[in-house]
Amino acid sequence: MAPTRENRRERPCGEPKFGTVQPAPLIFNRQRFLRTARSMIQRILVTGGAGFLGSHLCERLVSDGHDVICLDNFFTSQKTNVVHLLDKPNFELIRHDITLPIHLEVDQIYNMACPAAPGHYQFNPIKTIKTSVMGSINMLGIAKRCGARILQASTSEVYGDPEQHPQTESYRGSVNPIGIRACYDEGKRVAETLFMDYHRSNNVDVRIVRIFNTYGPRMHPFDGRVVANFIRQALAGDDITIFGDGSQTRSFCYRDDLVEVIIRMMNCDGFIGPVNIGNPHEFTIRQLAEKTIELTGSSSKLIEAPLPADDPTRRRPDISLAKEKLDWEPKIELEQGLKHTIDWFKTINLGDYRPPTPNFS
């Protein structure tokens, strides 16, 4: 069981070494005994907590009564994603880049920070791989020092353009290490290696999830991901751009399903992963575009553009392990999730969302 603030005194973490200094007495707080996933209030760090998935994760953890620290450098995320949490007594927001060290005392760490969309990670590939590698080292250092459990948000991109379909966790992937996507793909592969080596060498309590395509409210409308692109173009009545002929496939998992399984994985004892999490139902990109036009009532037309380099032709998770170990499978169908996402897109001002800028180098 992960340490709590009550029992952390048994394993001092960052206290003065001088024997004459006595620790301050602990104050009883009945709020610590509220019902939560692990029957205790946890002090939880979420890196990338103001991003798309990270903000929904913070929201859920705060709602469950945990003390949540959101760490974000706002390279690709939005303050508006977490502004509604700022008045909560159990939520704290810190602007910080995880490639730099930070001293924190926590029980759990969700390492969600990293540009995850092509439009973002290709804008600054060096920043992207530094976040995956140096950021992981810094967060694993905190976990090692504090005895915290740490979860790595990895990705289906570790499989590259897969030759196995659907992809199982045992598949080692087919990745181009010098391609334009490698900063993200290989960065995440290195992060997984670091997590496993810290686990084997230092007994750090790690968890690894491999996230497949995810969508929902708070997606960055200009991040280059296909769902955001199609909805934005359809609502504007612009032509919808399909790269290639649209026959390439993806599976799309709604954000609520992803947050649920990530929390289950963090609180699952005896299973470290990696585990695929995503929706096993597969759609072509053309089908997604046509469904988006239908649900928005748009007059948009489909146009084709050259397929980007190293773009996978097929991507679908085998989630047998998630079903077995976590008793989980997604519940929200694509049409239902798209409706929720389209409704959210209708409420936002696109002018509030900027692409990455050179200030974040």
Q: Is residue 337 part of a domain?
A: no
Q: In the prediction, which pLDDT does 354 show?
A: 66
User: Which CATH number characterizes residue 213's domain?
Assistant: 3.40.50.720
Q: Is residue 20 part of a domain?
A: no
Rounded to whole angstroms, what are the CA distances from 327 to 205, 261, 265, 268, 323? 21, 9, 10, 11, 5
Q: Is residue 240 part of a domain?
A: no
Question: Which residues form the domain of 88?
Answer: 31-218+253-280+316-331
- Confirm if 314 and 248 have CB atoms less than 8 A apart: yes
> How far, in Å, CA of 219 to CA of 343, rounded?
12
Q: Is residue 354 part of a domain?
A: no
Beta strands in the chain (DSSP E): 43-47, 67-72, 91-95, 108-111, 149-155, 205-211, 214-215, 240-243, 249-251, 253-254, 275-277, 282-284, 302-305
pLDDT digits (tens), the chain, 361 positions:
444 444 433 333 333 333 333 333 333 333 333 334 445 889 999 999 999 999 999 999 999 999 999 999 998 888 999 999 999 999 999 999 999 999 999 999 999 999 877 777 778 899 999 999 999 999 999 999 999 999 999 998 898 887 888 888 888 878 889 988 888 899 999 999 999 999 999 999 999 999 999 999 999 888 888 999 999 999 999 999 998 888 888 999 999 999 999 999 999 999 999 999 999 999 999 999 999 999 999 999 999 888 777 677 788 899 999 999 999 999 999 999 999 999 999 999 887 776 654 443 3
Q: Is residue 302 part of a domain?
A: no
Q: Is residue 227 part of a domain?
A: no
Pairing of strands 282-284, 249-251: antiparallel
> How far, in Å, CA of 131 to CA of 114, rounded?
6
Q: Is residue 134 part of a domain?
A: yes
- Confirm if 184 and 155 have CB atoms less than 8 A apart: yes
Buried b (16+ CB within 10 A) or exposed e, 332-350: bebeebbebbbeebeeeee
Element (H, E) at 179: none
Q: What angle do CA 85, 118, 352 make, to 5 degrees?
A: 40
HEC assignment per residue over 214-267: EECCCCCCCCCCHHHHHHHHHHHCCCEEEECCCCCEEECEEHHHHHHHHHHHHC
As for how many domains the chain has, the answer is 1
Q: In the prediction, which pLDDT does 82 show?
A: 97
> How far, in Å, CA of 67 to CA of 70, rounded?
10
Q: Is residue 268 part of a domain?
A: yes
Please give the model's pTM, rounded to 2 decimal places.
0.84
- Residues annotated as part of the active site: 184
